[in-house]
Amino acid sequence: MSLAIVFSRAQLGVDAPLVTVEVHLSNGLPALSIVGLPETAVRESRERVRSALLHSGFEFPARRITVNLAPADLPKQGGRYDLAIAIGILASSGQIPDDALVDYEFVAELALGGGLRPVCGVLPAVLAGRNAQRRLICARENAREAALVDPPGSLVADHLVEICQHLRKLEPLECLDGPVIPQDSPAEVPDLIDVRGQAHARRALEITAAGAHNLLLIGPPGTGKTLLASRLPGLLPPLSEAEALESAAVQSVCGKPLDLRRWRTRPFRAPHHNASAAALVGGGSIPRPGEISLAHNGVLFLDELPEFQRHALNMLREPMETGSVTVSRASARAEFPARFQFVAAMNPCPCGYLGDEEHDCQCSLLQVQRYRARVSGPLLDRIDLHVDMPRLPWRQLEQEIGENSATVRQRVMLAREKQRQRGRLNVQLTLAELDEACELGKVEKLLIDKVATRFRLSPRAIHRIQRVARSIADLDDSPGVTQVHLQEACSYRCNDGKAARPASLPAERRHECHDISS
pLDDT in tens, 89-131: 999 999 999 888 999 999 999 999 999 999 999 999 999 999 9
| Domain annotation covers residue 135 | yes
| Domain shared by 169 and 239, yes or no | no
pLDDT digits (tens, 9 = 90+) for 174-231: 898 777 666 545 567 899 998 888 889 999 999 999 999 999 999 999 899 999 999 9
| Domain shared by 149 and 216, yes or no | no
Counting DSSP H helices and E strands in the chain, the numbers are: 22, 17
DSSP secondary structure code for residue 12 in this structure = B
| Domain annotation covers residue 513 | no
pLDDT of residue 55: 96
| Domain annotation covers residue 501 | no
pLDDT digits (tens, 9 = 90+) for 364-403: 999 999 999 999 999 999 999 999 999 888 877 777 788 9
| Domain shared by 147 and 251, yes or no | no
Contact 45, 34 (CB under 8 A): yes
| Domain shared by 107 and 136, yes or no | yes
| Domain shared by 264 and 410, yes or no | yes
Q: Which of the residues in the chain have pLDDT under 70?
A: 1, 180-187, 494-518
| Domain annotation covers residue 138 | yes
The three-class DSSP label of residue 75 is coil
| Domain shared by 226 and 336, yes or no | yes
Where is the domain boundary, 418, 449, 479?
Answer: 418
| Domain shared by 171 and 196, yes or no | no
| Domain shared by 305 and 229, yes or no | yes
Contact 229, 345 (CB under 8 A): yes
Cβ neighbour number for residue 360 with a 10 Å cutoff: 9
pLDDT digits (tens, 9 = 90+) for 437-448: 998 999 999 999
| Domain annotation covers residue 223 | yes
pLDDT of residue 514: 42
Where is the domain boundary, 384, 418, 452?
Answer: 418
The distance between the two most distant Cα atoms of the chain, rounded to a whole number of Å, is 93
Range of the domain at 279: 192-418
Where is the domain boundary, 142, 175, 208?
Answer: 175
Q: What CA–CA distance (Å, rounded) separates 340 from 298? A: 5
| Domain annotation covers residue 428 | no
Q: What CA–CA distance (Å, rounded) separates 148 from 244? A: 9
Residue ranges of the alpha helices (H) in 214-353?
225-229, 241-254, 277-281, 291-294, 310-314, 317-322
Q: In sequence order, what are the residues at sequence separation of 6 or more whose Cβ sits closer than 8 angstroms to the Cβ of residue 364?
A: none
Query: What CATH number did the domain enclosing 89 receive?
Result: 3.30.230.10
| Domain annotation covers residue 103 | yes
Q: What CA–CA distance (Å, rounded) separates 60 from 369? A: 71
Cβ neighbour number for residue 480 with a 10 Å cutoff: 13
| Domain shared by 269 and 155, yes or no | no
Contact 139, 113 (CB under 8 A): no
| Domain shared by 217 and 79, yes or no | no
Query: What CATH number did the domain enclosing 289 receive?
Result: 3.40.50.300
| Domain shared by 205 and 149, yes or no | no
| Domain annotation covers residue 411 | yes
Q: What CA–CA distance (Å, rounded) separates 164 from 96? A: 7
| Domain shared by 96 and 61, yes or no | yes
- Work out how many domains the chain is built from and give that number: 2
